[in-house]
Amino acid sequence: DADVTQTPRNRITKTGKRIMLECSQTKGHDRMYWYRQDPGLGLRLIYYSFDVKDINKGEISDGYSVSRQAQAKFSLSLESAIPNQTALYFCATSDPGLKQETQYFGPGTRLLVL
């Protein structure tokens, strides 16, 4: 079974709709991240969380919110989706016990906002 799972894998929605992307992990890591990937732009950090009570904005947090329901779960919400939020979204985890820790990525959620 995959260590980092994301649901849904694909989603089509309309402008103005609220949508939630979910991430679960079985790696036991405290740190979790949400990124978006756009063609030609690489990955950009949206939000990150060091534990259940510690949530921080990344470089492109506007229009997004997150919830860390438990150590293993980190959800990303688009309160009112707009077309330029069409992208591939990745969740990742890491273990702070290791210097220069490796991040482990989920398979991604492909989101299309019409």
Locate tokens 């510690």: which residue?
Answer: 54
Cα-Cα end-to-end distance for the chain: 33
We find the least distance from the C-beta atom of residue 91 to another protein, in angstroms, to be 8
Q: How far apart are CA 51 and CA 53, in angstroms?
A: 6
Q: How far apart are CA 19 and CA 78, in angstroms?
A: 5
Among 90, 93, 111, 113, binds another protein (CB under 8 A): 90
Q: What residues between 12 and 41 interact with another protein by CB under 8 A? A: 40-41
Q: What residues between 41 and 80 interact with another protein by CB under 8 A? A: 41-45, 48, 56, 58
- Which residues bind to another protein, rule: CB under 8 A? 4, 40-45, 48, 56, 58, 90, 92, 99-108
